[in-house]
Amino acid sequence: MKRLLSVLCLALPLLAHAQQLTVSAAASLTDAFKEIGPRFEAAKPGATLRFNFAASGVLLQQIAQGAPVDVFASADQETMNRSADQQLITVGTRRDFASNTLVLVAPPDSPVKRAADLALPAVKRIAVGKVASVPVGRYTQQALAAAQLWSAVGPKLVFADNVRQVLDYVARGEVDAGFVYRTDAEIAKDKLRVVAAVGGHAPITYPAAVVAGSRQPALAREFVAFLGGADAQAILAKYGFGKP
């Protein structure tokens, strides 16, 4: 019994210092954040990261409905602006930590060789993110509108729940083309080809912020700061993300 009590006494300080941090992050950050997580945990003994990846708009909705989240990392400024308007993030904690590029991708045998080819009769299905909830969908809409193609390709559009679903549709050859981030295209480069980098849209920058209802606000601030540090920036660069 004495030995058991001594073991418990030794364990209690460890349990007292154990802190779990829940990070809701844009789907395109999945691979990079899964590598950043252990680096942060190593730098903060007792801290454990739990990730929730989905479309930025879906994550915002979850936070608004009371999901226990400590840090929100979005793939666009618009969604983070909405979170600020709804007072869901802590004032003064928001910071940009990465950037990305929109690209048009296609299966190897697709007739799409350039963006204008999307209007060809031979092109039947084009995967894009849902405009209302998926940032890559809004960037795509802006780019296609700037190229005067949005209305022309409207009937061909297949809307996906997040950027990784767009990537899967293209990689499996279920569509003739799709719009994803360059970082996502790199993951499936053996199953698709990058047709072109696409302009005509708002700059693609990723902000992170501490969620107002965080149960670990100090640790959450440290994670947001960590994203701008050398270790995290090196990992983001390895996955193709640019500086903010």
143: domain CATH number?
A: 3.40.190.10
The pair of structure tokens assigned to 222 is 């440290």
* Mean pLDDT rounded to a whole number for the chain: 93
Please check whether residues 95 and 210 belong to one and the same domain. Answer: yes
Please check whether residues 193 and 212 belong to one and the same domain. Answer: no
Q: Indicate the pLDDT class of residue 17, thresholds 50, 70 and 90.
A: low
Q: What is residue 9's predicted lDDT score, i.e. its pLDDT?
A: 44
Please check whether residues 221 and 151 belong to one and the same domain. Answer: no
Query: How confident is the model over 43-87, as pLDDT tens digits?
Result: 999 999 999 999 999 999 999 999 999 999 999 999 999 999 999
Please check whether residues 190 and 220 belong to one and the same domain. Answer: no
Would you say residue 7 has pLDDT above 90? no
Would you say residue 30 has pLDDT above 50? yes
- The beta strand positions in the chain, using DSSP E, are 19-26, 47-54, 71-73, 95-99, 102-106, 126-129, 157-160, 177-181, 193-197, 205-210
Please check whether residues 52 and 126 belong to one and the same domain. Answer: no
Please choose, from the candidates 210, 192, 183, the residue with its C-alpha nearest in 3D space to the C-alpha of residue 75.
183
Please check whether residues 9 and 95 belong to one and the same domain. Answer: yes
Please check whether residues 21 and 41 belong to one and the same domain. Answer: yes
Q: What is residue 61's predicted lDDT score, i.e. its pLDDT?
A: 98
Q: What is residue 18's predicted lDDT score, i.e. its pLDDT?
A: 72
Please check whether residues 7 and 95 belong to one and the same domain. Answer: yes
Q: What is residue 10's predicted lDDT score, i.e. its pLDDT?
A: 45
Do the beta carbons of residue 229 and residue 244 sit within 8 Å?
no
Residue 78 lies in a domain: yes
Residue 32 lies in a domain: yes
Q: What is residue 6's predicted lDDT score, i.e. its pLDDT?
A: 47
Please check whether residues 213 and 92 belong to one and the same domain. Answer: yes
Please check whether residues 92 and 111 belong to one and the same domain. Answer: no
Please choose, from the candidates 173, 168, 243, the residue with its C-alpha nearest in 3D space to the C-alpha of residue 206.
243
Q: Taking the C-alpha atoms of 105, 107, 112 and 116 in order, what is their torsion angle to the nearest 10 degrees?
A: -20
Q: Which domain holds residue 137?
A: 102-197
Residue 243 lies in a domain: no
Do the beta carbons of residue 134 and residue 74 sit within 8 Å?
no
Q: What is residue 118's predicted lDDT score, i.e. its pLDDT?
A: 98
Contacts 24+ apart (CB under 8 A), 41-45: 43/226, 43/231, 44/19, 44/219, 44/222, 45/17
Please check whether residues 232 and 112 belong to one and the same domain. Answer: no
Would you say residue 111 has pLDDT above 90? yes
What percentage of the chain reaches a pLDDT higher than 70?
Answer: 93
Would you say residue 13 has pLDDT above 80? no
Q: What is residue 3's predicted lDDT score, i.e. its pLDDT?
A: 53
Number of domains in the chain: 2
Query: How confident is the model over 84-108, as pLDDT tens digits?
Result: 999 999 999 999 999 999 999 999 9
Please check whether residues 218 and 172 belong to one and the same domain. Answer: no
Query: How confident is the model over 148-206, as pLDDT tens digits?
Result: 999 999 999 999 999 999 999 999 999 999 999 999 999 999 999 999 999 999 999 99
Calpha distance 11→112 (Å, rounded) = 61
